[in-house]
């Protein structure tokens, strides 16, 4: 079966996406959970240990607190409270920390530091799976044992105001609630006012036991302008005033002889230096935890906050409210909260916490008895029983007190060891699904590699022996063998497996496809060996004798691509991957400069030969181009590589990225400061004008007008949201959401895209006009550029300008003049796209994803457009270079009709090799220390990039079909 290279590459990429999805489903583990499906009950609590007597009654420790108020400030960093600016930003809170009846801690959040997993951690005490990053967009109801369910089951009345993620996680749990969307990050005022407006009436009432407030404004400010914005201090002062109001109301209602209240101030996660979150940097994982209650001893001065895990709050609140600890909690009691209670109560609290952790350890670890923490707990429990025997006998000596303190220390050590052991597990990998996805992916990669000589031949077609594979005996034998293996694995597996849970129809389809792929691989390999080096069609990478010929540039491109793939095995290279691409891009520019020098300064055999090689087009007559123009063209070609190097060096200084140097100030931060707003405005005007000049050249006059008005709308939008200024605008003028201005731009984006699509369809259906088709493609490209210019922040507009400028110069003076083939041009585009991904300020850290662009022009959160805009903005660099590649290869009349097929195939191969290699690497390194903080985010980025490349290759296949038909006509 013969198919075109582009169709073949697109088909392989789409199937690879399925294989990667199956791998991801197995790789991201299900969090450690108890095997019991029911939830903890008070009746299930263990008896108080006592040596030498029958089991003591399950004495319930009296609750420590009557009322609980949790004030959760989204993205509250610990230095906002405990840092040098804490006294200015949050003076009342700082006073309580230094002089009040409080306990202060730095609570460490585990990555991923996004809201929904953090809420799960705070309420269940478990460590959510990394895949909850994806689920964060649409949180399902939380079914596992949690603090909110326990409180409701105990008859406690709960009120909630704030982030509606809580409402989705805990439906029908709140007596009263008012949720606000957490994803509309352009709003940082109303989103908090909607919470605060309920406070006056609620605090006066006595019909509730637990009040939860989740404020989002600080997080939204971080996404918009970062942690050093001038908006941060007013917001922190607002939060401080709210805490003062809540604390005052609780103090005024404190009754003599009743149980005290507990006020908790905490953050779900921190905020990176760029204002985002999701990663594992210190500012993202360090959050303040302030516990305020008259039950605590009053402070006499500022003490250094202790460090606890965020999940430790769950058992602490549960025991403080007299509730059972959630079954899946890996947290341990914060000792300072119970230090004012009797020694017997303290030991009982620790015993209950230890019993819950030991049960979870027993359910999740086959060799739990060998765990150090479990053995320590058994020793402590036995010592506790001995202490209880003496206590019940009325012994009140100092020896009993010292013995109790020793038991207390033993319990704390056991809790720390068991919690650490459970946290290390995180979950159980679904190895069967992982291996199935990996095998699937590597079969496709091998087919892609074996098809290289045919895919890059002049015909650009691949002959797949599908029919012969399906009617062969090995195919049916493999089907039976794989089906038997599947049944054996699924019936003997101790843990659940996603691949085993699929319907038999899907399983047999997968088995049949994998068997067919194996037969196709064997058939192609046999054919390749029998043919040897000869292929019927002439490939652009072959010499006239039919042997493979690689130039110095080819060797560089090959070595760079392979070297980058191998570098992903090291965590430091993953964290600082931008440095790899910057180095490769600089080396590429030097190699191109060498090729240019060879072309223009080599020994000349005659004037005619020189003139022939330096003419702008081989179809034009020499007299049409005077020698002066030819000379200027030569110097422009020579200047292009150094100019590209200069642009890349400047862009590196614009956004600090990675991990090691991300905290250092960069040009972007300098431009975004309030004192440089005028300079940023001038820079934005210059960039928008340059974008118009570079893009409008190949558009129709209608699109040129639309593009000009659209770019004017882009500046108006940035002025509306306060990033830049109009000459008549004052720096202190109130900002808006810029909804009208953004929608104004969207109108022109849609108009340009419609015009380009219309020309493209006309060239393919009505008339085979190559010029019309080229104009349609460039108009679609200009519409994409306009949309990206709207989504980019003002300081990032130079990135877009340099991207367009380099594309223009390279196309005019390098790719066309040096006659690079489609494969070389594709690899160069890919390298530039990867480098510009990092020039934007992106990294392999989830925290650098700018989710604020998902709400440009939206009044409220709408999931589909928000995801689309966020993905487009994040991958703007690779997408713009891939789209430019399509336009460039389609517009070059002197190129072979197979150029688009070659480009599509090379792009698919460039994405498939690192994706397949990285899947093997993360499988081997799945127990690495940095698997969740470094390797897992990169795996998500690779998967998303593979999906986007598959979409680009589908466009390639469409363009190749029209290009082939045009060439035939």
Q: Where does the pLDDT of residue 607 fall: very low under 50, low under 70, confident under 90, or very high at 90 and above?
A: very low
Backbone angles phi, psi at 832, to 5 degrees: -60, -40
| pLDDT for residue 442 | 95
Q: What is the spatial distance between Cα 202 and Cα 1, in angstroms, rounded to a whole number?
A: 72
Query: What pLDDT score was predicted for residue 133?
Result: 58
Q: For residue 715, how far is the Cα from the chain centroid?
A: 29
Q: Convert the pLDDT of each residue in 232-270 to its tens digit.
A: 999 999 999 999 999 999 999 887 778 899 999 999 999
- For residue 190, what pLDDT is reported? 84
Split at pLDDT 50, 70, 90, the class of 614 is very low
Tens-digit pLDDT profile for residues 179-214? 887 655 567 888 899 999 999 999 999 999 999 999
Phi–psi pair at 428, nearest 5 degrees: -110, 130
Tell me what pLDDT residue 57 has: 53
Query: Is the Cα torsion angle 412, 414, 416, 419 positive or negative in sign?
Result: negative
Query: What is the average pLDDT across 687-710?
Result: 93
| Segment 687-697 mean pLDDT | 94
Which pLDDT value is given to residue 548? 54
Residues 328/126, Cβ–Cβ less than 8 Å: yes
The pLDDT of 683-712, averaged and rounded, is 93
The single-letter DSSP state of residue 933 is I
Q: What is the pLDDT of residue 735?
A: 62
Q: How far apart are CA 950 and CA 955, in angstroms?
A: 9
- The pTM (predicted TM-score) of the whole model is 0.77
Q: Are 781 and 883 in contact (CB under 8 A)?
A: yes
Higher pLDDT, 47 or 293: 293
Question: Quick check: 306 and 106 in contact, CB under 8 A?
Answer: yes
Q: Could you give the percent of the chain with pLDDT greater than 90?
A: 51
Q: What is the CA radius of gyration of the chain?
A: 32
**Residue 615 pLDDT more than 60?**
no
> Across-strand partners of 290?
104, 265
- For residue 611, pLDDT over 60 is answered with no
**Distance in angstroms (rounded) separating the CA atoms of residues 813 and 637:** 5
Query: How many angstroms separate the CA atoms of 645 and 176, rounded?
Result: 60
Under a CB-based contact definition with an 8 Å cutoff, are residues 299 and 100 in contact? yes
The secondary structure of 93-114 as a DSSP string is HHHHHHHSBEEEEEEEPPSS-S
Half-sphere exposure of 600 (CA within 13 A, CB side): 21
Helices and strands, counts by H and E, the chain = 39, 12
The percent helix, strand, coil of the chain (3-state, each to 5) is 65, 5, 30
Using 50, 70 and 90 to split pLDDT, how confident is the model at 321? very high
- Give the model confidence (pLDDT) of 822-849 as tens digits: 999 999 999 999 999 999 999 998 878 8
Instruction: Note the pLDDT tens digit of each residue in 514-535.
Output: 999 999 999 999 888 876 554 4
Task: Give tens-digit pLDDT for 386-399.
Answer: 998 888 888 778 88
Q: What's the 3-state SS for 291-357?
A: EECCCCCECCCCCCCEEEEHHHHHHHHHHHCCCCCCCCCCCCCCHHHHCCCCHHHHHHHHHHHHHHH
Q: pLDDT by residue (tens digit) across 662-679?
A: 777 889 888 988 888 899
- Give yes or no for a contact between 812 and 594, defined as CB atoms under 8 angstroms apart: no
**Which residue, 11, 6, 7, 9, is CA-closest to 901?**
6
Across the strands, what pairs with 462? 3
Are 199 and 242 within 8 A, CB to CB? yes
- Residue that has been written with the tokens 């020994």 in this structure: 603
Q: What is the DSSP letter of 51?
A: T
Strands 176-180 and 306-309: unpaired
- pLDDT given for residue 338 in this prediction: 92
- What digits encode the pLDDT tens for the residues 388-441? 888 888 877 888 889 999 999 999 999 999 998 887 765 568 889 999 999 999
Q: pLDDT, tens digit, for every residue of 160-172? A: 999 888 998 898 8
- For 468-512, the pLDDT digits (tens) are 888 889 899 999 999 999 999 888 866 667 888 888 899 999 999
Q: Rounded to an integer, what distance in angstroms lies between the CA atom of residue 169 and that of residue 340?
A: 35
Assigned token pair, 702: 């209608």
CA distance 668 to 795: 6
Rounded Cα distance between 277 and 265, Å, is 20
Which two structure tokens, joined as six digits, stand for 209? 């036991």
Tokens for 856, please give them: 């440009």
Q: What is the dihedral of CA 879, 881, 883, 886, to 10 degrees?
A: -140
Query: Is 91 in a helix, a strand, or coil?
Result: helix
CB contact at 8 A, 713 and 789 = no
pLDDT tier for residue 139 given thresholds of 50, 70 and 90: low
Q: What percent of the chain has pLDDT over 70?
A: 88
Q: In terms of DSSP bridges, do strands 286-292 and 261-266 run parallel, antiparallel, or are they unpaired?
A: antiparallel
Q: Helix, strand, or coil here: 83? A: coil
| Average confidence (pLDDT) over 721-748 | 81
**CA-to-CA distance for 903 and 606, rounded, in angstroms?**
35
pLDDT above 90 for 107:
yes
Question: What is the Cβ-side half-sphere exposure of residue 840, based on CA atoms within 13 angstroms?
Answer: 28
Please, what is the end-to-end C-alpha distance for the chain in angstroms?
25
DSSP 280-292: --HHHHEEEEEEE
Q: What is the mean pLDDT of the chain?
A: 85
Pick 19 or 164 by higher pLDDT: 19
Q: Any residues with CB less than 8 A from the CB of 653 and at least 6 apart, and which?
A: 666, 667
Cβ contact 413:405 at 8 Å: no
């Amino acid at each position: 079966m013969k198919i075109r290279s582009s169709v073949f590459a697109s088909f392989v990429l789409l199937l690879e996406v399925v294989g990667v999805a199956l791998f991801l489903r197995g790789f991201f583990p299900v969090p450690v959970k108890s095997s019991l499906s029911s939830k903890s009950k008070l009746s299930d609590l263990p008896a108080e240990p006592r040596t030498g007597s029958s089991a003591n009654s399950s004495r319930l420790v009296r609750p420590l607190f009557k009322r609980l108020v949790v004030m959760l400030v989204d993205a509250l960093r610990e230095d906002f409270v405990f840092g040098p600016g804490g006294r200015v930003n949050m003076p009342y809170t700082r006073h309580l920390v230094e002089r009040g009846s409080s306990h202060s801690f730095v609570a460490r959040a585990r990555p991923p530091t996004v809201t929904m997993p953090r809420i799960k951690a705070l309420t269940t005490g478990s460590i959510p799976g990394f895949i909850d990053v994806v689920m964060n967009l649409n949180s399902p109801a939380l079914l596992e044992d949690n603090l909110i369910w326990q409180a409701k089951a105990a008859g406690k009345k709960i009120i909630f105001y704030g982030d509606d993620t809580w409402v989705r996680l805990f439906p029908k749990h709140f007596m009263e609630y008012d949720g606000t969307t957490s994803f509309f990050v352009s709003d940082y005022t109303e989103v908090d006012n909607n919470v605060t407006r309920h406070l006056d009436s609620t605090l006066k009432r006595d019909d509730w036991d637990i009040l939860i407030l989740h404020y989002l404004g600080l997080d939204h400010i971080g996404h918009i302008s970062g942690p050093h914005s001038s908006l941060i201090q007013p917001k922190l002062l607002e939060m401080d005033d709210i805490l003062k109001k809540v604390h005052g109301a609780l103090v005024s209602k404190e009754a003599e002889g009743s149980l005290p209240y507990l006020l908790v101030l905490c953050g779900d996660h921190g905020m990176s230096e760029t204002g985002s979150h999701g990663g594992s940097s210190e500012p993202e994982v360090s959050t303040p935890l302030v516990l305020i209650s008259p039950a605590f001893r009053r402070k006499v001065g500022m003490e250094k906050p202790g460090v606890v895990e965020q999940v430790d709050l769950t058992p602490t609140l549960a025991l403080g409210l007299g509730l059972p600890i959630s079954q899946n909690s890996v947290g341990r009691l914060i000792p300072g909260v119970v230090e004012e209670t009797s020694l017997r109560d303290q030991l009982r609290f620790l015993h209950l916490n230890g019993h819950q952790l030991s049960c979870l350890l027993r359910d999740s670890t086959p060799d739990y008895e060998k765990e150090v923490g479990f053995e320590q707990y058994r020793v402590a429990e036995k010592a506790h029983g001995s202490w209880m025997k003496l206590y019940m006998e009325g012994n009140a000596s100092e020896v009993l007190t010292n013995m109790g303190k020793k038991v207390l220390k033993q319990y704390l050590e056991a809790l720390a060891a068991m919690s650490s052991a459970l946290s290390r597990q995180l979950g159980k990998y679904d190895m069967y699904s992982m291996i199935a996805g990996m095998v699937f992916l590597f079969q496709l990669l091998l087919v892609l590699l074996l098809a290289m000589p045919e895919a890059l031949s002049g015909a650009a077609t691949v002959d797949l022996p599908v029919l012969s594979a399906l009617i062969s005996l090995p195919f049916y034998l493999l089907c039976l063998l794989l089906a038997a293996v599947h049944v054996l694995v699924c019936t003997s597996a101790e843990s659940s497996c996603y691949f085993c849970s699929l319907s038999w129809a899907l399983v047999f389809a997968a088995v049949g496809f994998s068997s067919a792929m194996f037969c196709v691989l064997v058939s192609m390999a046999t054919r390749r060996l029998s043919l040897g080096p000869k292929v019927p069609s002439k490939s652009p990478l072959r010499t006239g004798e039919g042997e493979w010929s690689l130039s110095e540039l080819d060797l560089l491109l090959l070595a760079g691509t392979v070297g980058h793939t191998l570098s992903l095995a090291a965590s430091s290279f993953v964290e600082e991957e931008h440095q790899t691409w910057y180095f490769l891009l600089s080396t590429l520019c030097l190699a191109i400069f060498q090729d240019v020098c060879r072309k223009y300064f080599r020994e000349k055999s005659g004037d005619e030969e020189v003139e022939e090689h330096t003419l702008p087009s081989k179809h034009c007559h020499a007299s049409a181009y005077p020698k002066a123009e030819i000379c200027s063209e030569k110097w422009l070609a020579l200047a292009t590589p150094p100019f590209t190097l200069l642009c890349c060096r400047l862009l590196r200084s614009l956004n600090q990225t990675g991990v090691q140097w991300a905290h250092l100030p960069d040009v972007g931060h300098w431009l975004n400061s309030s004192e440089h707003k005028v300079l940023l405005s001038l820079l934005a005007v210059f960039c928008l004008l340059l974008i118009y000049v570079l893009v409008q050249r190949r558009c129709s006059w209608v699109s040129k007008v639309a593009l000009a008005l659209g770019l004017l709308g882009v500046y108006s939008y940035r002025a509306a949201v306060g990033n830049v200024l109009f000459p008549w605008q004052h720096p202190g003028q109130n900002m808006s959401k810029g909804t009208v201005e953004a929608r104004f731009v969207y109108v022109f984006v849609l108009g340009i895209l419609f015009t380009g699509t219309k020309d493209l369809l006309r060239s393919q259906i009505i008339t085979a006009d190559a010029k019309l088709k080229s104009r349609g493609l460039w108009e679609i490209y200009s519409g994409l550029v306009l949309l990206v210019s709207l989504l980019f922040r003002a300081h990032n507009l130079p990135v877009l300008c340099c991207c367009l400028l380099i594309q223009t110069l390279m196309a005019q003076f390098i790719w066309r003049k040096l006659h690079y083939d489609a494969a070389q041009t594709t690899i160069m585009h890919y390298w530039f796209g990867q480098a510009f991904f990092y020039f934007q300020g992106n990294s392999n850290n989830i925290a650098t994803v700018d989710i604020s662009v998902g709400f440009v022009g939206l009044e409220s959160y709408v999931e589909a457009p928000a995801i689309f805009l966020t993905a487009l903005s994040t991958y703007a660099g690779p997408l713009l270079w891939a789209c430019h590649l399509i336009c460039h290869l389609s517009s070059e009349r002197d190129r072979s009709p197979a150029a688009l097929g070659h480009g599509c195939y090379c792009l698919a191969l460039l994405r498939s090799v690192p994706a397949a290699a990285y899947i093997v690497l993360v499988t081997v390194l799945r127990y690495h220390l940095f698997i969740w903080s470094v390797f897992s985010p990169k795996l998500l980025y690779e998967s998303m990039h593979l999906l986007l490349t598959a979409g680009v290759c589908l466009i390639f296949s469409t363009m190749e079909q029209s290009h082939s038909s045009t060439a035939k006509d």
